[in-house]
Amino acid sequence: MTESAVVHIEAGTDYADIRDSVRRVCADFPGAYWRTLEETGAYPSEFVQALTDAGFLGALIPEEYGGSGMPLRAAAVILEEIHASGCNAGACHAQMYTMGTVLRHGSQAQKDLYLPQIATGTLRLQAFGVTEPTTGSDTTKLKTRAVREGDRYVVNGQKVWTSRALYSDLMLLLARTTPLEDCARKSDGLSVFLVDMRQLKGKGLEIRKLPAMVNHNTTEIFFDNMRIPASSLIGEEGKGLKYILDGMNAERILVGAECIGDARWFTDTAVQYVSERRVFDRPIGQNQGVQFPIAKAYAEMQAADLVLRRACARFAAGLPCGEDANMGKLLASEASWHAAEACLQSHGGFGFATEYNVERKWRETRLYQVAPISSNLILSYVGEHILGMPRSY
């Protein structure tokens, strides 16, 4: 288990000014805006631009590169409030955690070139090319290859569930540079690249939209002898998996914060509805069968929030935070789903009416028990790496 260490955890409502600012931005994008996007399958460009203009998407980029230089907890608060306001950060949250790979492991030239443009929104880094159709979560078995030829890498393969690729200028790509059979460890031989996609579409790069249950503009990507500069390589060749995993704790924490925001939205929406909805001459919220699921989801949300806050505190202190990051994401995704179920159930038939926005948020929050990592994989991690039980198969 994670060793004991003293960390400071902010209690109550932290970053109140940031929360207020996020709510003001989100007020311009009510449920009708998101319903229209779903009808057309469009990308929320106006919403992403508003967040960019407010400086929220550059929150974790250091000030020397034009960002705000905020701690991870502040970024988590931003995403939490977006979701608590009824909006969805899925169109832009990847920038916050993929940017960290460039910041921590990129060359000085890469950081000088890209980070200021990402901070201002001149360039968008939203696409994260890791998952493949045949390998799923077994990243060490991925088949996309990048072969060095002089001052270029030639890339062949396929990625799937690569959200926002059609609306991103840059993509963080994980590919195998050394065949698996030539590696001493299966985690070796993988490299990460920062791919500038602007001039590559139709030149070895094909992006196809992949319709899904939620409007996350996800895609599948095909690489056919795509040639990229050798300078696209981040860090050392063959060490890419380590670089990607280094950012996973931040990803878990930020996605967990979104779940907390969803749980807050569902709880607040359910409480208001059951307090006003009258059947048999009394509010339906008087019925314990209606009250208790909402109250229980609220309690689960508060518990998950504390674990995520501890994860943020350990992250900020430079301490190991994998245990809290993973458990926090697991608990938050379950709390948000239980709150979603309670909210939908309490609305009865109206929960399925699009104008109430409950069914949209219900579908959106279900995703987090599957992606970016499934609940079962987190349980496996806790069982094996935290509790020391035998490896499961």
pLDDT digits (tens, 9 = 90+) for 187-239: 999 999 999 999 899 999 999 999 999 988 999 999 999 999 999 999 999 99
Instruction: Measure the CA–CA gap between 266 and 280, rounded to whole angstroms.
Output: 25
Shortest CA distance to 207 belongs to which of 121, 129, 143? 129
Measured from the Cβ of residue 203, the count of other Cβ atoms closer than 10 Å reads 11
How far is residue 373's CA from residue 206's CA, in Å, rounded to a whole number?
26
Q: Tell me if 262 sits within 8 A of 339, measured CB to CB.
A: yes
Task: Dump pLDDT digits (tens) for 59-97.
Answer: 999 999 999 999 999 999 999 999 999 999 998 898 888
Q: Which two tokens stand for residue 172?
A: 């963080």
Cα–Cα distance measured from residue 276 to residue 257, given in angstroms and rounded to the nearest whole number: 29
State which amino acid sits at residue 33: Y
| Helix (H) or strand (E) segment spanning residue 74 | helix 72-84
d(CA 123, CA 104): 19
Model confidence over 259-271: pLDDT tens digits? 999 999 999 999 9
**Tens-digit pLDDT string for the chain (393 aa):** 555 677 888 878 899 999 999 999 999 999 999 999 999 999 999 999 999 999 999 999 999 999 999 999 999 999 999 999 999 999 889 888 888 899 999 999 999 999 999 999 999 999 999 999 988 778 888 999 999 999 999 999 999 999 999 999 999 999 999 999 999 999 999 999 999 999 899 999 999 999 999 988 999 999 999 999 999 999 999 999 999 987 889 999 999 999 999 999 999 999 999 999 999 999 999 999 999 999 999 999 999 999 999 999 999 999 999 999 999 999 999 999 999 999 999 999 999 999 999 999 999 999 999 999 999 999 999 999 999 999 876
355 class by beta-carbon count within 10 Å (0-12 exposed, 13-18 middle, 19+ buried): exposed
| Angle ∠(140,143,148) on CA atoms, nearest 5 | 100
- Kindly list the distances between the CA atom of residue 107 and the CA atoms of 97, 114, 194, 220, 235, in Å, as whole numbers in the listed order: 18, 11, 11, 29, 7
Cα–Cα distance, 50 to 56 (Å, whole number): 9
3-state class (DSSP) for residue 190: strand
Q: How far is CA 297 from CA 88, 266, 341, 364, in A?
A: 20, 9, 9, 17
Neighbours of 47 (CB within 10 A): 22
**Is 220 among the residues known to form the active site?**
no
Q: Is 224 helix (H, G, I), strand (E, B) or coil?
A: strand
Candidates 220, 251, 323, 341; catalytic one: 251
Here the tokens at position 305 are: 């929030």
Domains contained in the chain, CATH given: 16-124 (1.10.540.10), 126-238 (2.40.110.10), 245-386 (1.20.140.10)
Identify whether the C-beta of residue 95 lies closer than 8 Å to the C-beta of residue 82: no
Say how far apart CA 157 and CA 172 lie, in whole Å: 15
Please state, in angstroms and rounded to a whole number, the distance separating the CA atoms of residues 66 and 63. 5
